[in-house]
Structure 1
């Protein structure tokens, strides 16, 4: 079994705790749905970053609220590069899986779709019933 990285990102309209937690929850649920077999028990760690304009909540709290209590997590601030996407939450999940890296679906939602327009699943349309 190998460790594979799954990238994801999303944006929020304004820096509020509710927005950070809701957007992070949506991102993680979409990542779970897009990668069948991905379970919190198989996640080696999760690294969340936020742009410098986000300071109202830790994105990892949304993961804990989803029941990811056993997953080691880290929140950090992005480098403030001029012209970078504002109000952005990013995540790197390290998944212990037998899948090849080419079989992994990376998810970019909302304004973060602009970060990786080459990824088809950035606009994945998943209904609420399909989310975990």
Structure 2
């Protein structure tokens, strides 16, 4: 069993508490599903948010999902001119038998455009909230 890091991000349509909680929960669930992980496989999760996200701590969404014994941390993303607004990112440290090449990183909604350079990405462009329709398998994501 190895320790691996899984990346992911989602973009909010608006900085509203319930919307943030929904989008972050969707992201966490998809990271777990795409990599065949459970809460027991999680070592820790670091969440970052852009400076325009102020309605709630992203880690609270994970707590609401039952991640009460997983160390969670929230931090502020760097404020770079021209960067995408209203983005929540995560980096989950996990124990898994997957190789680095087998890890699937998850980018949802507008954040799907952030990391198309990765070969194993589950990217979902902007769709109605909660929809995974139109998701491209990692092998089909193109820059």
TM-score by length of 1: 0.89
Gaps of 5+ in 2: 126-130, 134-143
Give the match for residue 29 of structure 1: 29
Q: Would you say the 8 A contact 1:6–1:106 is kept in 2?
A: yes
Structure having the higher helix fraction is 1
Equivalence for 2:56? 57
Residues 124, 132 of structure 2: 8 Å contact kept:
no
1:50, 1:76 within 8 Å by CA — same for their partners in 2?
yes
User: Is contact 1:109–1:122 with CA below 8 Å preserved after alignment?
Assistant: yes
Once superposed, which parts of structure 1, at least 4 consecutive aligned residues long, lie more than 4 Å away?
A: 124-127
**Unmatched tracts of structure 1, length 5 or more:** 128-132
* CA-CA distance at 1:32 after TM superposition: 1.4
Root mean square deviation of aligned Cα? 1.6
State the secondary structure of the residue aligned to 1:55. Answer: coil
Aligned residues: 126
TM-score (norm 2): 0.83
